Amino acid sequence: MIKKVEIFDPALCCPTGVCGTDVNPELTKIARLVSVLNSMGYDVKRYNLAQEPMPFSTNPEVVKLMENDGVESLPAVVADGKLTFSGRYPTVSEFASWFDIEDDKLREKLKTPKKTLNISLNN
């Protein structure tokens, strides 16, 4: 079982994917997935090149990847200190496998909202 997963994002204006008028569904999905995994006690970190450059420069695997393939290779995924893959984000099934979680259980957690809000547009 993997103990820690680090995701090295390219330079982003925000990690959620909700920036300005454009919404990046891939970023909103990974942000939600990381949030759910963290709430379950799993160690998943995301680093944004624009806002947190230090982890990029101190991780030898990421330094080598960026020297060889440039920033176009991001995102990079490092599991327990080893570069697992780059160029895409992990899937729900990959996270489930790494952390020894039942795939269906994790997918169900992703569907369940933290809180339900009752909003009335009538005054």
* pLDDT tens-place string over residues 4-56: 999 999 988 766 656 666 777 888 899 999 999 999 999 999 999 999 999 99
Q: Taking the alpha carbons of 65, 70, 73, 74 in that order, is the dihedral positive or negative? A: positive
d(C-alpha 68, C-alpha 41), whole Å = 34
Q: What is the mean pLDDT of residues 100-122?
A: 83
Q: Domain 4-110: give its CATH architecture.
A: 3-Layer(aba) Sandwich (3.40)
pTM: 0.86
Q: Taking the alpha carbons of 13, 19, 20, 23 in that order, is the dihedral positive or negative? A: positive
The H or E element containing residue 6 is strand 4-9
d(C-alpha 39, C-alpha 34), whole Å = 9
3-state secondary structure of 7: strand
More confident residue, 121 or 113: 121
Extents of the domains making up the chain: 4-110
* pLDDT tens-place string over residues 106-116: 999 998 666 66
3-state secondary structure of 75: coil
